[in-house]
Structure 1
Amino acid sequence: MPPTAHRPRAPEPRDLVAWPAAFGTRFVVLVDTEEEFDWHAPLARDAHGVSAISALPAAHRRFAEHGVPLTYMVDYPIATDPRAIATLAAVLEDGVSAVGTQLHPWVNPPFDETLSPANSYAGNLPEELEAAKIDALTDAITRGIGTRPIAYRAGRYGIGPNTLRLLAERGYRVDSSMRSRYAYSGDGGPDFAEIGNAAFRTGPGGGILELPLTTIHTGWLRRGGTRLYRTLGALPKGRGLFARAGLLSRVALTPEDMPLRDALEAIAVAIGEGLRLLNFAFHSPSLAPGHTPYVRDAADLARFYAWWDAVFADLARRGVQPASLDAVIVAAGLPASGAGR
């Protein structure tokens, strides 16, 4: 039996970030900077590589041409591979991009847990083990980059009841482990039914800035939101039928398995609803064909970049500007990290 799903509560109105008027409406791009592996195979400790990181410099330049700083959420295999970490350190020299941590517990020591779907969510692990894994990853990145990371993402969005306190105790200021309107409770992961898209203060004393991954409901019945979407999941082909009819879709802001037309509609809805910070994401192995289900060949890679080009043009037309991690932290009222302004 999987453990009871961790279900973070919706923030209180007083915990929502009141962005300064001068901040405007902005967006960030967080990159799950990780090893490549077979997405269709069971998770394994050693069945992975880091060759896709060689595509990072060219990709970084393309984003930089649009004035978009990136925040690289780095996991243990990347942080401990000399070539990978050197590649990452080189792109971080732009002075505006930043590094954070992403914990994949199945490839992050200490390995005191059995491999299982439930244990792939770090927040399900015993508190001492989760803490030890966070420490090992934080220390590896600090040694490799020379900067102590202050932003965290749990791999598979596997935040747990102890995670935010453990992060606060280690000086982390930002978490982006909550995927708005998604649930991973089927195999023991968390359920984010109560989490919307707005950034909020959380953790001990409100010292952690939570940046949920933006997910928008679109369609004529979008006000039915998460409850209606989950009800449709219990009906044969219910979600697909409603999406094709233009009634209800769930759109995450990522080029991975999210068509451009849907993403542009989601952006329009998000801005229309007054969302002040949009949080985009993708996996670094998607930068090289053949490592994720989303970019299987050169044609997929071309579509991946075309997606970003069109999205950036749309955001610029709407006056939505990119933001660095530090700009977001400062605007939210937390001390700057110095990792990129």
Structure 2
Amino acid sequence: MATPDPAAAFRPLAPARADLVAWPDAFGTRFIVFVDTEEEFDWAAPLTRDGHAVSAVAAIPAAHRWFADHGVPLTYMVDYPIVSDARAVDVLRAACADGVSAIGTQLHGWVNPPFEEALTSRNSYVGNLPRPLEAAKIDCLTDAITAAFGTRPVAYRAGRYGIGPHTLGLLAERGYRLDSSMRARYSYAADGGPDFSEIGNAAFHVGPDGGLVELPLTTVYTGLLRQRGAAGLYRALGHVPKGRGLFARTHMLARVALTPEDMPQHDALEAIAVAVGEGVRVLNFSFHSPSLVPGNTPYVRDAADLAAFYGWWEAILGDLARRGIAAASLDQVIAAAHARR
């Protein structure tokens, strides 16, 4: 198998100042929670096209009630195995009957027809595929979600954050209003994926008329060295055995994404403080739906991990409430992002 060439990676540039979203003052600082709603699979094994279960969907109603009781609407980013399962669709349709939660699109190319590409790591980043094939996969999933839920989705996320040079244009052509495929300050170039090193946490308009908004997944640098060339230092530490772990444990430098998956609670609380201090107006949180059932992801392996998952959210939501940062629905974020455009 050929080794990916990091130099060939898709690298979106930082947005121009004129393209940054001008959030209305009345909108304040808000947060949104996306759920990558997907099949269960072995995260340590090579990707396969079939043999995947969707049984973890059975845990969604209880989780949905938990978040609803805390005043948090959820946006379920649904992929092809989920939308192809009648029971999963019924569960999600019932969840979104609350009028504030929403269904979006999440494209796992390796399980999403048409299947014209070889099953390789590089091709699992759907943005690497030829434009016509990427378009066909987006159309297949978009049409399936529309048929299942009766409403055309307007929010998109590429599985593995795998957008490419054609993705945003394809989404704009199809009427999508928001993309959340960019993971701020992460790079997947070594695996054949995109490099988001130049992308920060600010939302920005893309497309010929700015009709599509990019809302990156919030990630910040924390620690004593976070303001001293943090990005370059963090990259350099990646070439030092256990370097990043050592700097994180000594509170010198850490990269923290807003997710309960592999991000300790105290680090996430510090990340919120940093993000708010940097003026981030919409904090973008996410997690994977299979994490709601122990044993499906590396992040929730047993009952203790699941209890810690909810404990993480209790602490995070309490901190956000103390800061006066309220939850926002997908519709509210899209409306506010376009209010001044």
User: What TM-score do the two structures reach when normalised by structure 2?
Assistant: 0.97
Matched residue, 2:98: 94
Does residue 307 of the first structure (1) align with residue 281 of the second (2)? no
Does residue 72 of the first structure (1) align with residue 69 of the second (2)? no
Deviation at 1:242, TM superposition (A): 1.0
What is the rounded CA distance, in whole Å, between the counterparts of 2:251 and 2:37 in structure 1? 34
Residue-by-residue CA offset, 1:106-152 (whole Å, 9 max, x unaligned):
00000000100000000000100000000000011111111100100
Residue-by-residue CA offset, 1:187-217 (whole Å, 9 max, x unaligned):
2100001000011101232221000000010
Identify the match of residue 204 of structure 1 among 205, 208, 213: 208
Matched residue, 2:18: 14
Note the 1:252-291 alignment, pairs <5 A: 252-291=257-296
Unaligned runs of 5+ in 1: 336-341
Does residue 155 of the first structure (1) align with residue 159 of the second (2)? yes
What is the rounded CA distance, in whole Å, between the counterparts of 2:32 and 2:293 in structure 1? 22
One-letter code aligned to 1:170: R
Matched residue, 1:338: none
What is the rounded CA distance, in whole Å, between the counterparts of 2:214 and 2:165 in structure 1? 15
What is the rounded CA distance, in whole Å, between the counterparts of 1:67 and 1:102 in structure 2? 24
What is the rounded CA distance, in whole Å, between the counterparts of 1:235 and 1:60 in structure 2? 42
Q: Which range moves more in the overlay, 11-20 or 222-231?
A: 222-231
What is the rounded CA distance, in whole Å, between the counterparts of 1:160 and 1:96 in structure 2? 31
User: What TM-score do the two structures reach when normalised by structure 1?
Assistant: 0.97
What is the rounded CA distance, in whole Å, between the counterparts of 2:39 and 2:211 in structure 1? 30
Instruction: Quote the sequence identity (%).
Output: 72
Note the 1:203-222 alignment, pairs <5 A: 203-222=207-226
Does residue 185 of the first structure (1) align with residue 189 of the second (2)? yes
Matched residue, 2:325: 320
What is the rounded CA distance, in whole Å, between the counterparts of 2:89 and 2:305 in structure 1? 26
Residue-by-residue CA offset, 1:82-125 (whole Å, 9 max, x unaligned):
00111110100000001100000000000000100000000000
Matched residue, 1:165: 169
What is the rounded CA distance, in whole Å, between the counterparts of 1:225 and 1:199 in structure 2? 21
Matched residue, 1:35: 39
Alpha-carbon RMSD: 1.0
Deviation at 1:334, TM superposition (A): 5.9
Preserved contact between residue 180 and residue 212 of structure 1 (Cα < 8 Å) = yes
Aligned length: 335
Matched residue, 2:235: 230
Deviation at 1:281, TM superposition (A): 0.2
One-letter code aligned to 2:285: F
Note the 1:47-62 alignment, pairs <5 A: 47-62=51-66
Stretches of 4+ aligned residues off by more than 4 angstroms? none
What is the rounded CA distance, in whole Å, between the counterparts of 2:116 and 2:171 in structure 1? 20
What is the rounded CA distance, in whole Å, between the counterparts of 1:129 and 1:285 in structure 2? 28
Unaligned runs of 5+ in 2: none
One-letter code aligned to 1:307: W
Q: Which range moves more in the overlay, 122-131 or 225-234?
A: 225-234
What is the rounded CA distance, in whole Å, between the counterparts of 2:243 and 2:83 in structure 1? 42
Preserved contact between residue 205 and residue 213 of structure 2 (Cα < 8 Å) = yes
One-letter code aligned to 2:291: S
- Please give the secondary structure, in 1, of the residue aligned with 2:338: coil
Preserved contact between residue 15 and residue 200 of structure 1 (Cα < 8 Å) = yes
Identify the match of residue 108 of structure 1 among 95, 105, 112: 112
Identify the match of residue 246 of structure 1 among 251, 258, 283: 251
Deviation at 1:236, TM superposition (A): 1.7
One-letter code aligned to 1:332: A
Say if 1:52 and 1:90 are closer, same or farther in 2 by CA, change over 3 A.
Answer: same
What is the rounded CA distance, in whole Å, between the counterparts of 2:241 and 2:58 in structure 1? 42
Residue-by-residue CA offset, 1:205-241 (whole Å, 9 max, x unaligned):
2221000000010001001222211011111221111
